[in-house]
A and B are shown apart, each in its own frame.
Chain A
Amino acid sequence: MPPEQLKYAKTHEWVAFADGVATIGISAFAVEALTDLVFIELPEVGRTVALDESFCEIESVKAVSDIYAPVAGEIVAVNDALPDALETLGDDPYEAGWIVKIKVADEAPLAELMDHPAYEKMCAEEAH
């Protein structure tokens, strides 16, 4: 999905919501800020995550960063290709670089997410 049509969390996750399932990844801005990625620890399918719970970790040469759940629910799919092709997160963050799919338990938090212009504005401020 084009980035303009996605929703964003303050912690730089993007969300594409359709048919009760949220597909989640991290933004191009976040990938660039992390610098050289070395490892991703994906969660197990079937795990239930709470809103804002850390469910995944990405390691770069500089830091280890959590990925937080922008919605609560059950993880129904993970992108198993990522650990062996971390460059996908930078090359194609909004399509092939998806990380997990969560079956959304409560849709209300989706309304709290930013649209693309609001997210761009936040990134521009953070970049200073």
Chain B
Amino acid sequence: MGSDSDCVVRRIQYLGAITKSEAINQKSSIAMPYIYNTEQDVQDMLAAIGAGSIDELLDMVPDQLRLKRPLDLPAAQGEMELEQTVHALAAKNRHAGDTVSFLGGGSYDHFIPAVVDAVGSRGEFYTSYTPYQAEVAQGNLQAMFEYQTLITRLTGMEVSNSSLYDGASAAAEAVLMSIATTRRKGRVVMPETLHPEYRQTIVTYLECLGVDSVTVPTPGGVVDADELRGALTDDTACVLLQHPNFFGALEDTDSITAVTHEAGALMIAVFDPISLGLLKRPGGWNDGDGADIAVAEGQCLGSGMQYGGPYLGIMACREKLVRRMPGRIVGQTVDRRGAPCYTLTLQTREQHIRREKATSNVCSNQGLFALRATVYLSLLGPEGLKDTASLCLQKSHYLAEKLCESERFEQAFAAPTFKEFVIRDRENKVDELVKTALAPPDGDRGYFAGVPLGQFYPDLSDCLLVCVTEKRTKAEMDAFAGVLLGTPKDAKSVKLVAAD
């Protein structure tokens, strides 16, 4: 008992770097130690509730369900050993830091300038929880307001919220908005060129609403406006159009917007923020007729791929739809002295006022990643974004052409592409290609070759979705092509470059 007590004192001393007598004084105020309860604590608690032992406490659990032996865990480790163990486990991972990545399909290896981490890791931003209270969160609220301003400029839309959770759920929330706005509960139309996981998310959201989701086939790799027209009915709430689409290809945004609006449905644009350095903004589609809601995955704006999340859901819309927009919106106002300040606004949209009539149950935002996007976009500016987009476009086209010089590969679709493209392997050995690229025969550091499409599109099991961002060098692409084509002599020259 005495030793337990000493142990707690030592721990307080250690944590607080204070004298033993100070620690003894503090001991009584620690109600919930970080470390396992001492035997004395356990006895005290049992006595307080009138149980004689832990076994007696648990005796309502049927005997055959009791484990009756200690858990099968390895022996406890000290901090030093634990760190070594965890490092050894982590070293088994492959990531874009040690492997050249040509992966796309919604998560991208774009460059992240150091200043994004420097600002994003400041304690005021990094550790704040629900930072919406105007009296204490002006810095956070201003950052969110700036984010919204940047997103409206980027998209050409009138209003942005302060972000949602990720691209897929933002798309699903846009669908709910469309249903509520149009009061059309018949169907939602999604082309096959919309990210398959976004489609799954939307189907899940719609399952209990009794709204059908209709998938329009896109054998040519892009939406055919006439085919789309055939899928639209009087009770179609919206059409989702990803541009550049899941295959990296550019859609005919003008005619699809026109066809959608002719049918009285809302146009939901699913965009790649980086692409807007070059492509027409969703608000400007069809000569300014425009998308009604624009959503995106914002991971590419200054956040790492981090194994699929957390990410950033971007959502912007026409001002007339703002009452149906989910999530938080920060507004600018003036305080009682007339100085500019920031506060949440239009809160009647949200659950604490609209309750069951709210369009959405989202009542938060992805503040830290919105902040990173704000820093990233501010840093690049319009010219920097244009340069980044141009580099992605040019490098991606370089690699596509290089691969298709060989007899083995061809581009699966004829439509023009942005930073991703689909190659068809005439030998139909996509999985083998991916494996080879990950561990090339001559000890090269390896490549994530791309996303095999058979998992989403059975007809495209001989196809690979390849992405090239501004980070990829000519040497990396040449070496990668060499590995895929089985002529790895180029790979040696690349290793020298990589070692630099």
Measured CB to CB, the residues of A under 8 A from B are 38-39, 41, 57, 59-64, 66
Q: Does B128 belong to the interface (CB within 8 Å)?
A: no
Residue of B nearest to A54 (CB): B357
Residue of B nearest to A59 (CB): B348
A-B contact pairs, 8 of them (CB 8 A): A39-B323, A41-B323, A57-B357, A60-B348, A63-B353, A64-B348, A64-B354, A64-B355
* A41 CB contacts on chain B under 8 angstroms: 323
Known: A38-B348, A39-B348. A62 touches B323 (CB 8 A): no
Q: Give CA–CA (A34, B472) in the complex, Å.
A: 60
Secondary structure of the B contact surface, majority rule: helix
Q: Is B348 touching A61 in the complex (CB atoms < 8 A)?
A: yes
Residue of B nearest to A57 (CB): B357
User: How close is B313's CB to chain A, nearest CB, in angstroms?
Assistant: 25
Q: Give CA–CA (A30, B167) in the complex, Å.
A: 42
* Given contact pairs A38-B348, A59-B348, A60-B348, a sample of 5 additional A-B residue pairs in the complex whose CB atoms are under 8 Å apart: A59-B353, A61-B348, A62-B353, A64-B348, A64-B354
* A66 CB contacts on chain B under 8 angstroms: 357
Q: Give CA–CA (A41, B183) in the complex, Å.
A: 13
User: How close is B343's CB to chain A, nearest CB, in angstroms?
Assistant: 13
Q: Give CA–CA (A57, B323) in the complex, Å.
A: 11
Q: Give CA–CA (A62, B355) in the complex, Å.
A: 11
Q: Give CA–CA (A56, B357) in the complex, Å.
A: 12
User: B323-336 vs A: 1/0 string, CB under 8 Å?
Assistant: 10000000000000
User: How close is A81's CB to chain B, nearest CB, in angstroms?
Assistant: 18
Measured CB to CB, the residues of B under 8 A from A are 323, 348, 353-355, 357
User: How close is B265's CB to chain A, nearest CB, in angstroms?
Assistant: 16
User: How close is B184's CB to chain A, nearest CB, in angstroms?
Assistant: 13
* A57 CB contacts on chain B under 8 angstroms: 357
Q: Give CA–CA (A64, B354) in the complex, Å.
A: 6
Q: Give CA–CA (A62, B354) in the complex, Å.
A: 9
User: How close is B319's CB to chain A, nearest CB, in angstroms?
Assistant: 13
Q: Give CA–CA (A60, B347) in the complex, Å.
A: 10
Q: Give CA–CA (A63, B348) in the complex, Å.
A: 7
* A61 CB contacts on chain B under 8 angstroms: 348
* B323 CB contacts on chain A under 8 angstroms: 39, 41
User: How close is A34's CB to chain B, nearest CB, in angstroms?
Assistant: 12
Query: Can you list the 10 inter-chain pairs with the closest CB atoms, starting with the nearest?
Result: A59-B348, A64-B354, A64-B357, A64-B348, A64-B353, A63-B353, A38-B348, A39-B323, A39-B348, A41-B323
Q: Give CA–CA (A64, B353) in the complex, Å.
A: 7
Q: Give CA–CA (A57, B353) in the complex, Å.
A: 13
* B354 CB contacts on chain A under 8 angstroms: 64
* B348 CB contacts on chain A under 8 angstroms: 38-39, 59-61, 64
* A63 CB contacts on chain B under 8 angstroms: 353
* B355 CB contacts on chain A under 8 angstroms: 64
User: How close is A35's CB to chain B, nearest CB, in angstroms?
Assistant: 12
Q: Give CA–CA (A59, B357) in the complex, Å.
A: 11
Q: Give CA–CA (A59, B353) in the complex, Å.
A: 9
User: How close is A118's CB to chain B, nearest CB, in angstroms?
Assistant: 29
Q: Give CA–CA (A125, B355) in the complex, Å.
A: 26
* A60 CB contacts on chain B under 8 angstroms: 348
Q: Give CA–CA (A65, B433) in the complex, Å.
A: 60
Residue of A nearest to B324 (CB): A41
User: How close is B434's CB to chain A, nearest CB, in angstroms?
Assistant: 52
User: How close is A59's CB to chain B, nearest CB, in angstroms?
Assistant: 4
* A59 CB contacts on chain B under 8 angstroms: 348, 353
Q: Give CA–CA (A39, B323) in the complex, Å.
A: 9
Residue of B nearest to A66 (CB): B357
Q: Give CA–CA (A1, B323) in the complex, Å.
A: 33
Residue of B nearest to A63 (CB): B353
Q: Give CA–CA (A104, B20) in the complex, Å.
A: 86
User: How close is A110's CB to chain B, nearest CB, in angstroms?
Assistant: 26
Residue of B nearest to A62 (CB): B353
User: How close is B333's CB to chain A, nearest CB, in angstroms?
Assistant: 14
Residue of A nearest to B357 (CB): A64
Q: Give CA–CA (A59, B354) in the complex, Å.
A: 9
User: How close is B60's CB to chain A, nearest CB, in angstroms?
Assistant: 46
Q: Give CA–CA (A41, B320) in the complex, Å.
A: 11
* B353 CB contacts on chain A under 8 angstroms: 59, 62-64
Q: Give CA–CA (A64, B180) in the complex, Å.
A: 15
Q: Give CA–CA (A55, B355) in the complex, Å.
A: 18
* B357 CB contacts on chain A under 8 angstroms: 57, 64, 66
Q: Give CA–CA (A54, B354) in the complex, Å.
A: 14
Residue of A nearest to B348 (CB): A59
Q: Give CA–CA (A116, B461) in the complex, Å.
A: 73
User: How close is A23's CB to chain B, nearest CB, in angstroms?
Assistant: 24
User: How close is A45's CB to chain B, nearest CB, in angstroms?
Assistant: 14
Residue of B nearest to A38 (CB): B348
Residue of A nearest to B183 (CB): A47
Residue of B nearest to A43 (CB): B183
* A39 CB contacts on chain B under 8 angstroms: 323, 348
Residue of A nearest to B347 (CB): A61
User: How close is A40's CB to chain B, nearest CB, in angstroms?
Assistant: 11
* A62 CB contacts on chain B under 8 angstroms: 353
